[in-house]
Structure 1
Amino acid sequence: MLRRLLVHWVLLAAVLALVALFADSVEVTGGVVGLLTAAAVLGLVNALVGPVLRLLSAPITLVTLGLFSLVINGLLLMVTAWFTDSLTVGGPLRTILAALVISVLNTLLSKLVLD
């Protein structure tokens, strides 16, 4: 179980590095330590704040056929950037797009590595 958590953490850090490399709206400073810190904070924000936001926004997510979940993911990425000094994100639309890319890449890499 601990091994799986560590693999998820490292994968999320790698995904953040890829997104920061290709997206000019996302910047991670502090090298490997900054990446691991941002990944840890993002994981905690997703685990602790994410379910509450998703529950509260369930009606609007249902009305928008799930598209509002992209906004929730963007908000979670903004909260992560607010909590840590090693992650900087751009405007709201770019942050939502970056969160979408992070979600897709993280899911794909997790399926490839852990399954």
Structure 2
Amino acid sequence: MNFWQRTLVTVLVFLATAGFFPNSFHVSSVWVAIIAAVILGLLNMFVKPLLVVLSLPITVMTLGIFYLFINGFMLEITSFLVGPSFSFTSFGSAMFIAIILSVVNLIITSNQE
């Protein structure tokens, strides 16, 4: 799946989860979701590999569970860069949205051939 397809899926997940969980996740408009998805994609391309390498020992010790914290942290950085129109109530809600996003991406990329 290329960058723009993954960005479109991320936008849809952002909008759907903001609708399902309005008390924990806020997206003010479709345009904000598009901007946040592009920023998250760029962060995942350039910053996330560095974080994964730096946190490899703790990720191995926790049998990969720490990778969820990295995903949640990437969403928090995205929230910081986008501003108050894209926000989470807590780090736990960012991790929850990261889990949903990962599962949806896994399902979509596994069915693509």
Whether the TM-score (by the shorter chain) exceeds 0.5 is yes
The answer (yes or no) to whether the contact 1:11–1:110 under 8 Å persists in 2 is no
| Alignment map for 1:32-43 (pairs within 5 Å) | 32-43=30-41
Moved over 3 A (4+): none
What TM-score, normalized by structure 2, do the two folds share?
A: 0.88
CA contact (8 A) 2:3 2:41 kept: no
Normalised by the length of structure 1, the TM-score is 0.87
User: Contact 1:9–1:43 (CA<8 Å) still a contact in 2?
Assistant: yes
Gapped runs of 5+ residues in structure 2? none
On the 8 A contact 2:15/2:30 being kept in 1, the answer is no
Q: 2:74 matched to 1:84? A: no
Unaligned runs of 5+ in 1: none
Q: How many residue pairs were aligned? A: 111
- The correspondence of residues 1-115 of structure 1 with structure 2, limited to 5 A, is 4-23=2-21, 24-29=23-28, 31-85=29-83, 86-112=85-111, 114-115=112-113
Distance in structure 2 (CA, Å) of the matches to 1:96 and 1:77: 8
| CA deviation profile, 1:28-87 (whole Å, cap 9, x unmatched) | 11x221111111011111111110111000000000000000111110000000010231
**Greater mean alpha carbon deviation, residues 81-90 or residues 53-62:** 81-90
Question: Aligned partners of 2:52, 2:90: CA distance in 1, in Å?
Answer: 22
Give the aligned residue type for 2:9. L
Matches of 1:62 and 1:11, distance apart in 2: 29
Question: 1:9–1:39: 8 Å Cα contact kept in structure 2?
Answer: yes
Distance 1:47 1:108 in 2: 20
